[in-house]
Each structure stands twice: as C-alpha cells, then as structure tokens.
Chain A
Amino acid sequence: MLTAIIALGTLAAVFGLLLGYSAIRFRVEGDPIVERIDALLPQTQCGQCGFAGCRPYAEAIAGGEADINQCPPGGDAGIQALAELLGVEPKPLNAEHGEHTELRLAVIDEQTCIGCTLCIQACPVDAILGAAKQMHTVIASECTGCDLCVAPCPVDCIHMLAPGQVIATWKWPYPGSEQRLTAGDSA
C-alpha cells in the first residue's frame, strides 16, 4: 500500500515537473487566431485587400478592423472558409477590392526586357530572377499571380497568362458541364 502511494506520488511529481518544464520550454509564440486566419488566405500577397500582404490582413480581421470579404484571390470559397472559422455569416466579395479571377502567372517577354530590376523589387515572394541589365525571368512555380510586377515595368513586357493545362494537374470536370464524358464520340 505504502509503496504504491510512494510510487504513484513520485510518478505524479516527475510528470508534473516534466509538463511544467515543457510548457515553458515549448511555448507556442504568436496569436493562434491570426495564424488560423492567415492559413486560409491564399498568400498571393497582392495587397488588394488594402493591407501590405495576407498576414497584415489576417491581423486586421482578428482585430476586428477589417471585414472578411476583401480578398479577391480567395474569392467566395475563401470567404466561406473565413466565415466558418469565425462563426459569422458569409457575404459576397466586396467589389471595391476587385473581382475574383482565375489564377494567372506572370511571364516576362525576354526579348523586350531591359533588365531594369523594377519588377524584382515589386515581387512580394522573390519569384523573379535577374540582375541589372540582364534579362529577367519568372519562376513559374513560385509566382503567386499577384500582378504587382506588371505596373512598374517601364517597357510593358510582363504579361499575366493563364497557366497551360498539363495532364499531371488536370481536373475532371463537374458532371454535366462537359460533353465528352459520355463514352467515346467516334472511333
């Protein structure tokens, strides 16, 4: 009996200390609600919401300073997700901030580029490669389609283009939205 009490007591003490220590040692920094809002934002970093990027917008939503319908890249799906997270009613996208469009990626016309580096300075995710007076190019896999590099270009050589469809990322259409789903049309 006594040994049992001592044993259990010791165990309790050890685990208590361990838990206490880990609470201090592994404390999570940051505001969890901001993190969770930020996780739902598309990370395009385009600034259309009126803030200097997705995280500042997340902070503003968390602080009650911004509404949930200001992010055009996120579109209705994004608003829906935010509404669910925050337990509020979804609402339509605020047109003042822009329209939701399909993703387009920046492509630099390398013949025209003069290597001025202005686009590099504009890109929020450092997705443009190049040096002064060298031809520039966009890393497609890292471009978020934010549009921010288009305006600064003095020779208008950046175009936003819909990414080409490839088999690896092709999606089945919604049934009924396309004709070719009925077994083969011709032999």
Chain B
Amino acid sequence: MIEILEQPRQIFGGLRLAANKAQSLRTPLRSAPLPERLIVPLSQHIGEPAETLVQVGDKVLKGQPIARSLNYISAPVHAPTSGTVTDIGEYAVPHPSGLKATCVVIHADGADRSADTGLKMDDVFCADPADIRQRVREAGIVGLGGAGFPTAVKLNPGRPVELLVINAAECEPYISCDEALMCERTAEVIDGVRIMRHALQAQQVVIGVEDNMPRAVDCLRRGLEAAGERDIRLLAVPTVYPAGGEKQLIYALTGKEIPSQGLPADLGMVCHNVGTAAAVARALLQGEPLISRIVTITGAGVSQPCNLEVRIGTPIADVIASCGGYTEQAAHLLMGGPMMGIPLPNDRMPVIKTSNCLLAASVEEIPPPPAALPCIRCARCTEVCPAYLLPQQLFWYARSRDFDKVQDYNLFDCIECGCCARVCPSHIPLVQYYRFAKTEIWDLERQRTKADLARQRHEFRVERLEREKKALEERRAAAKKGLAARPKSGDAEAKKAEIAAALARVKGKKTQPATVSAMRGSADSEQGPGSDTGSDSR
C-alpha cells in the first residue's frame, strides 16, 4: 500500500527561482483567433511519425484525422479546423536541430465545422478500460507537460496501478498554462482525472500542485466538492524547481524513490500531467481530439503576456500578434521556460502539442552566458542536482567522450533540468554536454543494430552463394558422368535410337512458334536449351 504523505516533502537539491508567473495570469484565459493558415507537423510526439491520410486539395473538417499512427508508440494527428489542404511538405518545426519535418498545411475556411469523430462515450465510467485507451489513442493525446509521450501507452502500464499521480506542479518559472487550466476549466480537469483513474483502475489518486499556487488549490478544492469527489487527494508540495519532475513529484508526495532507470510503474504508480487529463475529458465527453492546447505567452519581449487556447499548427508569429506583438526588449524566443526551453531561430514555426510556453525574453531575463572556465570541483552542481547525480563527473566523461563511464554515472537519470549549469561558478554549459552524450549514445546503439543486421544479411548471402556453387558443381558432375557413361553402354541399336530421339527433339524445337524464343530474349538463347546452368540456379 502506497502511503500518500500528510505533509509533502521537499525534493532533494533544486533551486528557488523567481516564479514570474503573475504576468501571464493577469488576464483570463481566452482563445486565440483562428489563423488563416495552419502548419501541422506529422510527428509531434515521442515515437514513430504518423502516416498522412490526406492529399493536397482535400477538404478537411475540424477534428478529422489527417495522419494515423502505425506503431504502438505513436499518435495520430487531426485537422485543427475546417479548410483545404494546400500542401504536404517539409517545414521548419520547433526542435533544437532546426531541421524541417513533414507537415500538412491547411488553409482555414473560417467556418470551423466539426467532423463526427466518434470519440464520445456515453457512459465512460462503466466503459471497458481497453475501450477508453483505444479512444485516447485515436484522439492523438500525448503528454502535454513537455515530453509528448503517447498517453494511451501510459494508461496501459501492464501491471496493477495503486496510485495515480496527477502532475500539476508547474515548477518552471514563467509557465502558467496548467494553473490557468485548473482555475478556468476545473470541471474538465476533474472529469479527466476520474476517467484516467477508471482507465487505470487505480485505487488512489493524488493531484500534486506547488504551494505557491493558492488560487489553483482553491478552484480544485471547490471543484472536487461540487463533484462530490472525496477520493481524489489534493496536496501542495514545497515550491522548489524542479518539483514538477516526475520522480521528484512522486518523492515529494509519497517519500518513495524511483530506482535509477526505473519507471514509476515499477512501484505501482503512474504519473500524468493535468493538462493531459483535461484533454482526455474533452475527447471522451465532447468528442474533440487533441487539436488545441493552452499556451503561456510571456516574457518582457511580448506586449500582453497571457494564456491562450491555441489551435495546434498556428504559426507562432500569429500567436504573438494576438498578444499585442513584441516589445522592443524582445531578444530571444524560446519554446518552453527559461530553464528547459529550446531556442527558436524564428517565429514562422507552428505551435505543436508539446508547446506549453512561448517565452519572448529580454536580454536581462536570459543574459548571454559568460565564457566557460575549467571546472574547479566545487561540487555546487552536486548539491543542487535533484536526480542525485554527480554533474561534474558526468561533464568530465561526456567531455572526453567516454560514453561507457558517463553511463556508469547514470547519465540517463539526468532530467536536463539545468540546475547544475545555473549554479556552476565556472559557467560550464553542463546540460549541453549531457545532451550531446545522450544523443551520441543513442546513435551508437543505432549503429550497432544496423551492424547486426548487416552481419546477418552478409552471412545469409555467403551461405546462399555457397549453396548455389555446390548445386552447380553437383549438376556439372552429374552431366559429366552421364556423358562418360553413354559410349560404354555401347550397342549400336541403342545408339541409333538415341540419335533418332535427338533429331526428333530438334525437329520439335524448330516447329515451335518463333514468338516464344523472341519473348525469352537473347540472354536465354545464348545459353541454349541444353545448358546445365539453367534458370533454376537461384
């Protein structure tokens, strides 16, 4: 039995950062205007890309699937509004690589007509969990907290779930989209949590918020009361960045530590983001797949910081424009918060399912990093690492490309929170070293898999050639034997008969229609009908 602590704990390490959330919470949540043109990437999640279902020129309705998932770990994509598909091609997408990816471009017709998605369930709380998962999958729902892992997969952990943790501890500065959601769509959030609880057959549920969001706590508490829901706990954990990390939040709420490289499911727990829960409720109760999300638009670089409900695929420039545009201070544009966000080279890219925040920051908000100096082994990074790692050791081995050693120091437990780099007096870009090492290691693994395939195929080929050679030799030997045997068989009668038979064969061949040999082409006629390297050598 997992015990939910009466008094949530403070996570190990971490940083106390200025929240900077008030700016974007001053105005109520509203919907961004429908853009003229939407650019919808086919891969907005962790896992395999989806396969397109539409063609240029097709008319699509809001909520209609435009790409389907072929793999288990993948998610379909839907048309965010009604309109015409005007292009399917490579467009820049928000990704640190700056590379392009396949997108479906839709010109909105302005009518915003919905398709019948068939996602709605009449009595969802009596439904079969497998059926719920299937619809969550069809709705294209992925984790909205940032990572974008397909939610249906995480609703099926393959073992009994004791505790469902709803992650509402939005710990990164500036980001307030979950808080806005909890305050303004309280009922939807609670419905979503209940559906998830039913789908997982979880015995207990706890919603974890940070203790600096009293308004959200208030809204949720009243919402739970109104819904007559007594079995969903609501706990406020001490505000420390990154208390909203999955493992960190679970520790704060239960005091349990997820082992290195382990999953919460190993301990009978599953963690879902609060925005994801609301998306599930929307899909199953209103039949709307994941075609929009709440985005925080903030920073000193934007005129009217706020939270907006934005259709997926809306170009970032349009979103910023509906917040009054940039201010003169705008120096950087990030998707995500100041700690973990990714810098964007321009604002022509679209909002995607995992865009929780658009931060137009001033130079003061994100000052240029001073030049890196050598590590002085002060261990301040170790003190703040919430994942109990030794960042200076990770740095050391990542820098020298010692990928075995860096894994011995549990590189893959690093959540890339950036605490270590923030406190490092030598200003070493530590997280960049970890990201570099992680992608290098994945690449080595891919190479190894490819080499294994090549080895197999090569061995197979060698065997095949060997087999063919043997077969050929055997046939040659047999033919030789046949020739050698004939003269000895000796009596003239038999010989005559044989020659007659051969003549008859040749005559028969000649009377065959010419088209046959023409059809067989020159390659065959070279070999001639009697050749022992006939066409069956393969």
Contact, CB under 8 Å: B439 / A171: yes
Interface string of B409-428 (1 = CB under 8 A from A): 00000000000000000000
In the complex, identify which listed stretch (A23-31, A63-71, A85-93, A174-182) lies at the interface while the others stay far away. Answer: A174-182
In the complex, identify which listed stretch (B261-269, B338-346, B373-381, B478-486) lies at the interface while the others stay far away. Answer: B338-346
Interface string of B348-368 (1 = CB under 8 A from A): 000000000000110000101
Q: Which residue of A lies closest to B100 (CB)?
A: A167
**Given A165-B99, A175-B429, A185-B343, A142-B457 contact (CB < 8 Å):** yes
Contact, CB under 8 Å: A167 / B369: no
Contact, CB under 8 Å: A185 / B451: no
- Specify which chain B residues have a CB less than 8 angstroms from the CB of A54 in the assembled complex: 455, 458
Residue A109 lies at the interface, judged by CB distance under 8 Å to chain B: no
Q: Which residue of B lies closest to A44 (CB)?
A: B454
Measured in the bound complex, the distance between the Cα atoms of B347 and A63 in whole Å is 61
| Residue from A41, A132, A171, A187 in contact with B436 in the complex, judged by beta carbons closer than 8 Å | A171
Contact, CB under 8 Å: B99 / A166: yes
Within 8 A of B (CB), among A148-187: 165-176, 180-187
Residue A137 lies at the interface, judged by CB distance under 8 Å to chain B: no
Q: Which residue of B lies closest to A175 (CB)?
A: B432
Measured in the bound complex, the distance between the Cα atoms of B334 and A34 in whole Å is 51
**Given A45-B454, A184-B345, A187-B332, A172-B432 contact (CB < 8 Å):** yes
Q: How far is the CB of B124 from chain A (nearest CB, A)?
A: 35
Contact, CB under 8 Å: B461 / A125: yes
In the complex, identify which listed stretch (B90-98, B105-113, B228-236) lies at the interface while the others stay far away. Answer: B90-98
**Given A54-B455, A185-B343, A170-B97 contact (CB < 8 Å):** yes
Within 8 A of B (CB), among A111-170: 124-127, 132, 141-142, 144, 165-170
- Specify which chain A residues have a CB less than 8 angstroms from the CB of B332 in the assembled complex: 183-185, 187
Measured in the bound complex, the distance between the Cα atoms of B395 and A175 in whole Å is 11
- Specify which chain A residues have a CB less than 8 angstroms from the CB of B432 in the assembled complex: 172, 175, 181
Contact, CB under 8 Å: B333 / A144: no
Measured in the bound complex, the distance between the Cα atoms of B429 and A31 in whole Å is 46
Contact, CB under 8 Å: A181 / B331: no
Q: How far is the CB of B408 from chain A (nearest CB, A)?
A: 15
- Specify which chain A residues have a CB less than 8 angstroms from the CB of B523 in the assembled complex: 132
**Given A169-B443, A187-B326, A181-B429 contact (CB < 8 Å):** yes
- Specify which chain B residues have a CB less than 8 angstroms from the CB of A167 in the assembled complex: 43, 93, 95, 97, 99, 101
Q: How far is the CB of B417 from chain A (nearest CB, A)?
A: 16
Contact, CB under 8 Å: A182 / B369: yes
Contact, CB under 8 Å: A142 / B454: yes
**Given A43-B451, A126-B461, A184-B439 contact (CB < 8 Å):** no
Within 8 A of B (CB), among A25-84: 38, 41-45, 53-55
Contact, CB under 8 Å: B433 / A180: no
Interface string of B432-472 (1 = CB under 8 A from A): 11011011101100110011111101111110000000000
Residue B301 lies at the interface, judged by CB distance under 8 Å to chain A: yes
**Given A132-B523, A183-B343, A125-B99 contact (CB < 8 Å):** no
Contact, CB under 8 Å: B98 / A180: yes
- Specify which chain B residues have a CB less than 8 angstroms from the CB of A180 in the assembled complex: 98, 343, 345
Q: How far is the CB of A89 from chain B (nearest CB, A)?
A: 18
Measured in the bound complex, the distance between the Cα atoms of B455 and A38 in whole Å is 9
Measured in the bound complex, the distance between the Cα atoms of B93 and A183 in whole Å is 17
Contact, CB under 8 Å: A43 / B452: yes
Q: Which residue of B lies closest to A133 (CB)?
A: B521
Contact, CB under 8 Å: A184 / B334: yes
**Given A126-B461, A175-B429, A169-B454 contact (CB < 8 Å):** no
Measured in the bound complex, the distance between the Cα atoms of B442 and A186 in whole Å is 31
Residue B330 lies at the interface, judged by CB distance under 8 Å to chain A: yes
Contact, CB under 8 Å: A170 / B439: yes
| Residue from A42, A124, A170 in contact with B461 in the complex, judged by beta carbons closer than 8 Å | A124
- Specify which chain A residues have a CB less than 8 angstroms from the CB of B454 in the assembled complex: 43-45, 125, 142, 144
Contact, CB under 8 Å: B457 / A186: no
Contact, CB under 8 Å: B458 / A186: no
Q: How far is the CB of B166 from chain A (nearest CB, A)?
A: 30
Contact, CB under 8 Å: B97 / A165: yes
- Specify which chain B residues have a CB less than 8 angstroms from the CB of A38 in the assembled complex: 455
| Residue from A125, A168, A173 in contact with B457 in the complex, judged by beta carbons closer than 8 Å | A125
- Specify which chain A residues have a CB less than 8 angstroms from the CB of B439 in the assembled complex: 170-172
| Residue from B344, B442, B446, B460 in contact with A126 in the complex, judged by beta carbons closer than 8 Å | B460
Measured in the bound complex, the distance between the Cα atoms of B360 and A43 in whole Å is 48
Measured in the bound complex, the distance between the Cα atoms of B439 and A183 in whole Å is 20
Q: How far is the CB of B398 from chain A (nearest CB, A)?
A: 9
Q: Which residue of B lies closest to A38 (CB)?
A: B455
Contact, CB under 8 Å: B443 / A172: no
Q: Which residue of A lies closest to B95 (CB)?
A: A167
- Specify which chain A residues have a CB less than 8 angstroms from the CB of B43 in the assembled complex: 167-168
Measured in the bound complex, the distance between the Cα atoms of B438 and A170 in whole Å is 11
Measured in the bound complex, the distance between the Cα atoms of B465 and A124 in whole Å is 11
Measured in the bound complex, the distance between the Cα atoms of B97 and A173 in whole Å is 9
- Specify which chain A residues have a CB less than 8 angstroms from the CB of B347 in the assembled complex: 187
Q: Which residue of B lies closest to A73 (CB)?
A: B451
Q: How far is the CB of A158 from chain B (nearest CB, A)?
A: 18
Most buried by A among B97, B99, B429, B446: B97
Q: How far is the CB of B317 from chain A (nearest CB, A)?
A: 10
- Specify which chain A residues have a CB less than 8 angstroms from the CB of B361 in the assembled complex: 183
Q: What are 26 of the A-B contact pairs (CB < 8 Å)?
A: A43-B452, A44-B454, A53-B462, A55-B458, A55-B459, A125-B458, A142-B453, A142-B454, A142-B457, A165-B99, A166-B99, A167-B43, A167-B99, A169-B443, A171-B440, A172-B432, A172-B438, A174-B436, A175-B432, A175-B433, A176-B372, A181-B432, A183-B361, A184-B331, A185-B332, A186-B345
Instruction: Write the residues of chain A forming the contact surface with B, with a CB cutoff of 8 angstroms.
Output: 38, 41-45, 53-55, 124-127, 132, 141-142, 144, 165-176, 180-187
Other than the known A55-B455, A176-B429, A181-B429, what 11 A-B pairs have Cβ atoms closer than 8 Å? A45-B458, A54-B455, A132-B523, A170-B95, A172-B439, A174-B436, A176-B372, A180-B98, A183-B343, A184-B344, A186-B346
